[in-house]
């Protein structure tokens, strides 16, 4: 298993459009662990860990988001594994 950790910085119309809830649902369905949270600048921050092949599908979803979202830019940074046990929405 080729496990990876990515940090995603997602900008655009991504708050108030169910992005975090939809992101958690997608992560749970793919078996990805990590977190998602709204940032004060209007962006969304995601940490995602899992098998690289599955993460690629998740990253593609994050570039689009749920139907009401409009992602303008997504920065993806690979980082060290943190060993998340599940995927959580940070209030």
13 is catalytic: no
Confirm whether 85 is domain-assigned: no
**Position 91 in a domain:** no
pLDDT of residue 7: 98
Question: Does the annotation count 33 as an active-site position?
Answer: no
CATH code for position 53: 3.30.70.100
H or E stretch covering 33: strand 33-38
Catalytic residue from among 13, 18, 20, 73: 20
In a domain, residue 73? The reply is yes
Q: What is the pLDDT of residues 21-70, one digit of tens each?
A: 999 999 999 999 999 999 999 999 999 999 999 999 999 999 999 999 99
Catalytic residue among 2, 13, 18, 38: 38
User: What is the span of the domain harbouring residue 71?
Assistant: 3-80
Widest CA span in the chain: 36
Q: Which of 85, 89, 91, 90 is nearest to 31 (CA)?
A: 85
Number of domains in the chain: 1
Q: Decide: 59 and 34 in contact? Cβ < 8 Å.
A: no
């Amino acid at each position: 298993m080729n496990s990876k950790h990515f940090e995603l910085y997602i900008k655009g119309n991504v708050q108030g459009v169910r992005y975090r809830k939809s992101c958690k649902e997608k992560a749970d369905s793919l078996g990805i662990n990590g977190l998602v949270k709204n940032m004060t600048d209007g962006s969304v921050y995601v940490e995602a860990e899992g098998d690289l092949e599955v993460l690629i599908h998740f990253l593609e979803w994050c570039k689009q988001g749920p139907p009401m979202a409009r992602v303008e830019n997504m920065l993806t940074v690979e980082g060290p594994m943190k060993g998340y046990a599940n995927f959580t929405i940070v209030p």
